Amino acid sequence: MDFELLIQNPKFKIENFRKVKILANDGISALGQELLEKAGYTVITEKVNQEDLAKAVNENNIEMVLVRSATTVRKEVIDACPNLKLIGRGGVGMDNIDVAYAREKGLTVINTPASSSQSVAELVMGNLFSISRFLNDSFKNMETGDFSVLKKNYAKGVELRGKTLTIIGFGRIGQSLASYALGAGMDVVAVDSFIKEPITIEVQIGTKQTAKVEITPIASLEEGIKVADYISIHVPKQADGSAVITTKEFEIMKKGVRLVNAARGGVINETDLLAAIESGKVAAAALDVFDNEPNPRKDLLNNAKIATTPHIGAATLEAQDRIGSELADLIIGQFGKLN
């Protein structure tokens, strides 16, 4: 095609004749990479250390950076990278990105809030079962412990059916968790100060049937936690850095309550949690996120009543494919195909 005629096309973009480089610094699924590369983008997956991020972006003419939870993109990086056009977060929370500042500077900021809901909800359900039957601690002790002693130690498990689960934060993940919990025979109380209307939850029955249950969230955290046998938290890190659950909230809870945090480190005060476990107010807890990632405090990791995982809520093959595909769709939808 004649070049002069081509550039007269109103849809012509000179950018389409160069490769746009994307740094997926915390990785991207093979499907997401394939979709982007088919659309003409160059995807770089080699990990860059946080302190070298701005330098790598500038030296390699990178225009888009994709992160998960490990890499942060703060004001300093944004200011140091004038050619940066897009920051993408594979997942829900964007507290590791200075979102408002980036958008103020004209950058596109995207995330994938729906893609990991099911995987996080399933991890929470797994933890609810685990901390009800001491699975995390018994696994550690089976090889070296006395079988009869261990059997006695772990003989006071509890069942989920008939118990009340309070879900703090009733967005996509909270609603997905509610579906699983209802299916397990639990009563669900939702706490959310932003959602006023009833939410219809579809409970999957096998692969071909669903049942619908209506849940109306309440705004009062106190009312929600005082009736709970189990609590799962699904709120972002608070803007002022304060914890949602502290000694004050633990005092309101039932004795023997069990908690799961697969949201963000800091929404539970970790020192107050340890004290509540020591006093018997909290029977057990499960943590997928921590204040000091990637180096959580040892007294949390070594506590027999706390099940821990290394921030793997969205780390399923299915979720990563959904995240990669959604990121690719958002980028291509915004910037077009380059070939």
- Side-chain-facing half-sphere of 187: CA atoms under 13 Å: 8
Please state the domain extents for the chain.
Answer: 3-115+318-335, 117-308
3-115+318-335 and 117-308, same CATH topology = yes
The pLDDT of residue 3 is 36
Q: pLDDT exceeding 90 applies to what percent of the chain?
A: 88
Length of the chain: 339
Radius of gyration of the chain (CA): 23
- Tell me the DSSP string of 30-75: HHHHHHHHHTT-EEE-----GGGHHHHHHHTTEEEEEE-SS--B-H
- For residue 6, the SS3 value is helix
Q: Using one digit for the tens of pLDDT, what is the confidence trace for 257-286? A: 999 999 999 999 999 999 999 999 999 999
- Quickly state the pLDDT bin for 28 (edges 50, 70, 90): very high
The pLDDT of residue 2: 41
- The answer on pLDDT for 35 being more than 60 is yes
Q: How far apart are CA 109 and CA 93, in angstroms?
A: 12
The fold adopted by the segment(s) 117-308 is Rossmann fold (3.40.50)
The rounded distance, in Å, linking the Cα atoms of 235 and 294 is 20
Is residue 9's pLDDT more than 50?
no
The CATH superfamily assigned to 3-115+318-335 is: NAD(P)-binding Rossmann-like Domain (3.40.50.720)
Condensed to tens digits (0 to 9), the pLDDT of residues 89-144 reads: 998 889 899 999 999 999 999 999 889 999 999 999 999 999 999 999 999 999 98
Banded model confidence at residue 327, pLDDT cuts 50, 70, 90: very high
The CA distance from 97 to 191, in Å, is 26
Residue 17 has pLDDT above 90, yes or no: no
* Helix, strand, coil share of the chain (percent; to 5): 35, 20, 40
What mean pLDDT do residues 173-198 have?
Answer: 97
The mean per-residue pLDDT over the stretch 158-171 comes to: 98
| Residue 10 scores a pLDDT above 70 | no
Q: pLDDT value at position 21?
A: 97
228-248 mean pLDDT: 94
Residue 7 has pLDDT above 50, yes or no: no
Here the tokens at position 59 are 């030296």
Residue 18: the pLDDT is: 61
- Average of pLDDT values for 211-225? 98
Q: Supply the residues annotated as catalytic.
A: 264, 293, 311
Tell me the average pLDDT of the chain.
93
Instruction: Provide the pLDDT confidence category of residue 5 given band limits of 50, 70 and 90.
Output: very low
Question: What's the CA dihedral at 101, 50, 329, 174 to 10 degrees?
Answer: -80
Cβ neighbors of 158 (< 8 A, separation 6 or more) are 132, 133
* Per-residue confidence (pLDDT) for residue 14, from 0 to 100: 42
